[in-house]
Amino acid sequence: MIKNGRPYTIENGSHDCDLITDLPDIDMKIVFSWIQNNIIPVKTVNLCSSSYWLKHVLQHDTGIYVTNNQFKDAMLMCGFPPVDDRDLNWIYRISKKSPVYKNRDNVKQTKEQRTGQI
């Protein structure tokens, strides 16, 4: 869900209210740069990637760990609103031609991770 313009996640009674701005400035800048360089926006929904899977790809590429909520926050700040903010793992409008999908054999993803059905 979104509260006051920022994501807020509740999973099994556990609250994840961490925001991307909680990271050191250099890490935050790297995350924003990674999103801008790896994700291309489109108007249609892409069910192939969830915030959960994307945060793992980010960590693989940069070495920076973020929570699911922090990743959602970064995506919002970069202009990627979720399709449905009530979902635990957000789905976005991302081009299938985005660099994030290239050469991902080393980042395994299950159907559940891609679609956010975890």
Q: What is the pLDDT along the chain (118 residues), one digit of tens a residue?
A: 888 889 988 887 888 889 999 999 999 999 999 999 999 999 999 888 899 999 999 999 999 999 999 999 999 999 999 999 999 999 999 999 999 998 665 555 544 555 555 4
pLDDT at residue number 105? 57
Tell me the C-alpha distance between 19 and 77, whole Å: 11
Contact residues for 85 (Cβ-Cβ < 8 A; gap 6+): 1, 2, 7
Q: Tell me, what's the pLDDT at 84?
A: 95
Whole-number pLDDT of residue 116: 54
Beta carbons of 19 and 27 less than 8 angstroms apart: no
Signed CA dihedral, 70, 11, 79, 92: sign only: positive
* 9 in Cβ contact with 69 (< 8 Å): yes
CB 118 within 8 A of CB 87: no
